[in-house]
Amino acid sequence: MAKRKLNRRQNWRIQKIQDERAERAKRRESRIQDQLNTSELGPEEEGLVIAHYGVQLDIERPSEPGSLYRCHLRANLPALVTGDRIIWRPGKDDIGVVVAQLPRESELCRPDNHGRIKPVAANIDYIVLVVAPVPTAHANLIDRYLVAAEAINIEPVLLLNKTDLINDSNRDRLLELMATYRDLGYQVLTASTKAEHGLDTIKKLLKGHTSVFVGQSGVGKSSLVNVLLPGIQAKVGELSEQTGKGMHTTTAARLFHFPEGGSLIDSPGIREFGLWHMESEDVINGFREFREFLGYCRFRDCNHEQEPGCALLQALEEGKIEQKRMDSYRQILNSIGEL
């Protein structure tokens, strides 16, 4: 947006809005302080952040899955996100106050509207990358998601959906694609929400873990969510609808429990995870089979293009690295403007 010079009246209005906001925050904090000082609140206990709405959070009591307590946040706490484990004190009428944040095991981040990288979900075990015969599963896009998952140390799982669309014209290509990732040590699952194939295996994997579903539009993420979370349809719809109306930012995320166990954190923003800028170091480290060769090139600043004594090029020649993964690495690096 072009910078405009604000006139005095506009400046005054902005100042007024900021003052009012600060005043509201002060009043809120003093109300919370009053509650904490009187015996209105119960003892401290652990909780799970199910969703957040600005200064308010929905907290679940882990011993009571499905319970929801609308909680305020003490002003001295960092921004909490869906999936965070916290310490809170319950109050009357299903409300409460969050008093502390517990350490995060993992963090999923994405740029906000101003391009600042911010966490949007925490404590995720699996990034389930959904691909399909249609729209075509391109290795390069798969690699891009894998690199992003590797960079934050969350295990990616590849899920080929719509297996009912596998036919003579795409079978060989898809089998080869899946074999490549299996050989690299990734878990690869297959499913069809239409033919109800593979769903039990997915349920078993997700049980006891917190996952997110990511992938290109049209691969069947919503369909999968709907079969794995019966009755949630409305809520999923609601989520994107609210985003459309601007009630939530695209990063608003919510945690759902699968009936068989395990949780899903979902939001339109999370589904696009990984498709933004990353550093060149993240890119090379995200190709997991490259790692054992890194640091062995003759030149410390080797670009692994045509330099003599390049350990990566030698691995390529010896068949320890696949040509298409090398191509993919170069393409991703290129796309972030580092080559």
Which residues contact ligand GDP by CB under 6 A? 161-162, 164-165, 192-194, 217-223
Least distance (Å) between residue 295 CB and Zn ion = 10
Cα dist. 46→61, 99, 208 in Å?
A: 7, 10, 18
Asked if residues 120 and 269 have their Cβ atoms less than 8 Å apart, the reply is yes
Nearest to Zn ion of 236, 316 (CB atom)? 316
- Shortest Cβ 226–ligand GDP spacing (Å): 8
DSSP labels for 14-66?
Answer: HHHHHHHHHHHHHHHHHHHHHHHHTTTS---EEEEEEEEETTEEEEE-TTSTT
d(CA 196, CA 178): 20
- The nearer residue to ligand GDP, 29 or 272, going by C-beta atoms, is 272
Q: Which DSSP symbol is given to 247? A: S
Compare residues 196 and 281 and give the one whose CB is closer to Zn ion. 281
Q: How far is the CB of 79 from ligand GDP (least distance, A)?
A: 28
Residue 218 near which of ligand GDP, Zn ion, none (CB within 5-8 Å, type-dependent): ligand GDP
> 222 touches which of Zn ion, ligand GDP, none (CB within 5 to 8 A by kind)?
ligand GDP
Q: Is 290:312 a contact under the CB 8 Å cutoff?
A: yes
Contacts 24+ apart (CB under 8 A), 19-22: none
Q: State the number of CA atoms in the 13 A half-sphere of 143 facing the CB.
A: 27
Min CB(258)–ligand GDP separation in Å: 17
d(CA 4, CA 295): 49
Distance (Å, whole) CA 147 – CA 278: 9
Q: Which is nearer to ligand GDP, 37 or 169 (CB)?
A: 169
At closest approach, how far in Å is the CB of 322 from Zn ion? 17
Considering the complex, state which of residue 186 and residue 329 has its C-beta at the smaller distance from Zn ion: 329
Residue 161: name its binding partner from ligand GDP, Zn ion, none (Cβ under 5 to 8 Å by kind): ligand GDP
Binding residues for Zn ion, per CB under 5 A? Answer: 297, 302, 304, 310, 312
Q: Which is nearer to ligand GDP, 44 or 241 (CB)?
A: 241
What gap in Å lies between CA 76 and CA 74, rounded to an integer? 6
Between 85 and 162, whose beta carbon lies closer to ligand GDP?
A: 162
Q: Using CA atoms, how far apart are residues 54 and 248, in angstroms rounded to an integer?
A: 9
| Shortest distance (Å) from residue 162 CB to ligand GDP | 4
**Minimum distance from CB of 192 to ligand GDP (Å)?**
4
**Which among Zn ion, ligand GDP, none contacts residue 165 (Cβ within 5 to 8 A by kind)?**
ligand GDP
User: Using CA atoms, how far apart are residues 253 and 15, in angstroms rounded to an integer?
Assistant: 31
Return the one option of ligand GDP, Zn ion, none that residue 259 interacts with (CB less than 5 to 8 A, by type).
Answer: none
